Structure 1
Amino acid sequence: MSYSINELAKLAGISTRTLRYYDKQGLLKARRDPVNNYRYYEETEVDQLQKILFLKLFDLPLEQIKKVMQTSPETQYQVLRSQRTKLVAEQQYLDDLIKNLDKTLATMKGETQMTDTEKFATLKKEVIKNNEKQYGTEIREKYGDAQIDCSNQKFNSLSENEFSHFKELSTEILTELKNLANTTDIKQPAAKHLFDLHKEYLLTLWPKDQYSAEAHKNLAKMYICDERFSKYYEEGTGNPEAAKTLKAIIDYYA
């Protein structure tokens, strides 16, 4: 079945302007009627548009979507399959969150009791979820799915005391870095102490056999190459040079 640009826009719930933009960007090329030069779309384009709109739902930028659409059907299938896995994980997370909140409310009314492990389970999952949302693509490309999944599993198994210590480490790292930002003397004891804190922080997240000096340095490189990491340290210390200082200290002591 063929669709005019207006018919396809109505069918997909988007504007004709969006379809024209996709055409101009080479993301979804319309066919042209040889008589009147009007745009029209066949079943192939309809299927392509469905995939594009699915990928947009997953917050992928158009340039990345375009690259995906230029790959083989098998690769496109794997990309969508991967996104489905993420959706299932998100659904499970929300189900667990609702269950945990319901049990918290029931505990507050004296109807049941929660173990300390149950109290912190959802909080740990929230940390993992936020990290995946902000940095998941980059760190998975750099370290691989297996290592990141293993790291998430380790973090999720932290005890209440270990989880509290993790949060204390995060705060202490920013405090120490704030005092050292812009320093040129990275041989001072305070700099070595900051490195030790950061290594302990990573070992809370990473299995010990996955830690190496090279991996530590590669992570530090991301701190200055990725503005999201730089922004985190800048906002946490009030100093725009904080990430550079941290990288210099890690490079020296790792």
Structure 2
Amino acid sequence: MRLSISEMAKLSGVSVRTLRYYDQIGLLCPEISENSGYRWYGKTDVERMQQILFYRELEFSLKEIAAILSDPQYDKQEALRRQRHLLQLKRMRLDRLLKLLEANLKGERTMEFAGFDRTEYETARQRYAEEAEKRWGATEAWRESQAREQNRTQTVQERLTEEMNDIFRRFAALRETDPASEKAQAVVRDWQAWIRVNHYPCTREILKGLGEMYTADSRFRENLERFGSGTAAFMAAAIAAYTR
């Protein structure tokens, strides 16, 4: 297996800019060709990327992840089992949300709120995070990270909000253009990747449903229109073109 940085970005759902940053901090370093200077990712890099995303799912900082993955006693199989469990819980929640979304799109009224309940998933995520902290919490990297990030939750939320709004602004800037254009489709890919990394596995089916909801649901529509009149409709059209 040999992947370019763009191929790795497409495979993992992580942006090229993020991959370059991971390389800079030594978290995920591809092989660099002596002749061309190109970066190439192999099978080991792909597997390491999966583990990075798993711990990102647990809301670990990049420095914490680096400390964990560099531990010679790191148990990859156990990490995969935990990842599977978390994804199963997420899938159950997403299935409920999709069912609710489909009912709303059909005009059906429902009193179902279970899809919005993250309790089971958050309980498991917190348990795994606590176990990891117990295991690696004595390392210097971990202590430095914790001391520096005591207010990480608020800081992370602010960063995520700004990243999300930046993508919305990019959609808004293109709203007078063809939603099927390469520029518009690139923003859709970035939006899907952002959701995957920061929230949940965003398949084309889920993305398609979200796109429909951006115009069908007044709450989403009003929020997107803050970035410019027609943003919601353009975003929905761009996603529709992407998911055909």
Q: TM-score range by the shorter chain?
A: 0.3 to 0.5
Higher RCO (C-alpha 8 Å, min separation 6): 2
Task: Provide the TM-score with structure 2 as the length reference.
Answer: 0.38
Normalised by the length of structure 1, the TM-score is 0.36
Higher normalized helix content (fraction of residues) = 1
